Chains A and B, each alone.
Chain A
């Protein structure tokens, strides 16, 4: 749980901004030029949406210590809210719909975060299931949310910012990348602010936090609100940029678990961890299917793929919880430190 600051004393110090800036330069400058449509549609867009959802959940679970199994509900709330704002409010720019969708998700997050004022741990996790089932039920039951579509399916609107169309794979990728970059940067600022430290204080010792005067109730609800805002926006990206056509069933409990696995595998209380975890979750099934087809040929059909995915992913999660509780981030930092150390001593 403590992968917040790592002791880099033994490694040569690189400026902290260097790696993110280089990554962004590649993501904006190189990837759009060389990437195939498959790379964008099947890998990068789901990766970006799930990473952002992971960042959001990590603020709540990793930093503030409040376990939630309702992430997919907040994604759904964001996606359907953005769809309706876009549909029903004349002249509202896309960014406006997305922002308001985040606010709606945040409001729902506060409501379903209220039990956290009394409940902890598993009990809280179970109570957040209420959000999961309620939101999915409401979106299916009231067809107004999907503009009276028979099956509750919504189609994403055309994406454009100030008349500049972003409907191609590259356009949607750049759009998602920008939203994710901005929100991740703000999340990074948040967790190193006093509010972020209050989150950690409540996670590590709630009684002590209350005694020294941290407003515990307010801070918990704030964590729910901010987390749900980010997850809601991730839901908009999932619906508008990645899938383009979504239904409430796409945001089921499996999705919530997927996001929880992302932050556990990637590393709790780490912004980077969400990206590591999402990369693994997105790339792993694709790699497994390629590997399966390569090894077994036609025997490796979709049913086998689905089953082997579950088995291998389950085994991976167990292994991670035992061997590396601090997640891929801790693993990465250790490898990097060793490489730098080896490089230094040559």
Chain B
């Protein structure tokens, strides 16, 4: 598997390592060890892809409630990885830790070879990470096109004066971001609503606009927090097809949370199952389907017990 833009990773490492150290973590010797790793090429044994994202011993609790306990997770470049689990299992917390919205109490997030105690949210887009939200997080007062184009705002170099006067690089940037946004809208079959205010669209379309906004930056890692929640079966399979197409077209690694096990089984390369903040399984769909712990915790009793014998 090709290693995507390794040089970028090194640049980010040099820019961010000092700040990570400056946080004065209790486990700083370990962290230093990891950060120094980035000075060398990422170990990529022939035939084995290196993980784009790995979580090491992530622990997070709110007050006395343990949301995540000692989670390890390793996501290979280019795979679609689902995270499933019952409500309250910690799935969204995990996405929030990966995207830096939450700072874990313990453990590190290793992105593209660089270890973070807390992923810098403000630089997430620069690191090649994009995400969607469980509850819609569109900009209601902007058109669909402007919402999607805002996914490129992190690249803008022109200042407001140049933009107001229409001089310097602002014109080129504006043209570029519009045309890329239009391409994505076409890719996700949203061109017909491009000038509508995002807030006026039906729910399913808003979910897709959010995917478009995340995709427009062509992220290497795409985090989808329940992209199909509240959709009809038809909309779900459509969305699943879009997610797969996005992976194939942009070589994006996808981490997604989803409740509909049927959709997840067909879509993902591997599935991690959480229950009460712990990872109880992490395997291919077939293995997960037959894992007794997963069946007990999430999938429910097997069909041969439909009559309720023994309950």
A interface vs B, CB < 8 Å? 1-2, 4-5, 186, 189-190, 193-195, 197-198, 200-201, 203-205, 207-216, 222, 226, 269
Chain A hits for B44, CB < 8 A: none
B interface residue count range (under 10 / 10 to 19 / 20 to 34 / 35 or more): 35 or more
Are B160 and A2 touching (Cβ within 8 A)?
A: no
Are A214 and B197 touching (Cβ within 8 A)?
A: no
Report the bound CA distance from A1 to B173 in whole Å: 28
CB < 8 Å: which of B122, B130, B177 contacts A210?
A: B122
Number of A-B contacts (CB under 8 A): 105
Are B160 and A212 touching (Cβ within 8 A)?
A: no
Cβ of B163 within 8 Å of any chain A Cβ, yes or no, is yes
Are A197 and B160 touching (Cβ within 8 A)?
A: no
Q: Mark B159-171, 1 if CB is under 8 A from A, else 0.
A: 0100111100010
CB < 8 Å: which of B133, B138, B164, B195 contacts A190?
A: B164
A-B contact pairs, 12 of them (CB 8 A): A189-B165, A190-B163, A193-B174, A197-B146, A201-B153, A204-B138, A208-B138, A211-B130, A212-B151, A212-B153, A214-B154, A226-B160
Known contacts being A5-B197, A189-B164, A207-B101, is A194 close to B173, with CB within 8 Å?
A: yes
Known contacts being A5-B197, A213-B124, is A204 close to B166, with CB within 8 Å?
A: no
Report the bound CA distance from A1 to B101 in whole Å: 27
Least distance between A117 CB and chain B CB atoms (Å): 13
Chain A hits for B146, CB < 8 A: 197
**Chain A at the B interface: mostly helix, strand, loop or mixed?**
helix
- Pick the most buried of B101, B139, B149, B170: most chain A CB atoms within 10 A of its CB: B139
Q: Mark B111-149, 1 if CB is under 8 A from A, else 0.
A: 000000000011111100011010001111111001001
Cβ of B283 within 8 Å of any chain A Cβ, yes or no, is no
Report the bound CA distance from A5 to B125 in whole Å: 28
Report the bound CA distance from A5 to B156 in whole Å: 24
Cβ of B199 within 8 Å of any chain A Cβ, yes or no, is yes
Least distance between B272 CB and chain A CB atoms (Å): 22
Are B213 and A194 touching (Cβ within 8 A)?
A: no
Are A194 and B101 touching (Cβ within 8 A)?
A: no
Are A4 and B141 touching (Cβ within 8 A)?
A: yes
Chain A hits for B125, CB < 8 A: 211-213
Report the bound CA distance from A269 to B199 in whole Å: 15
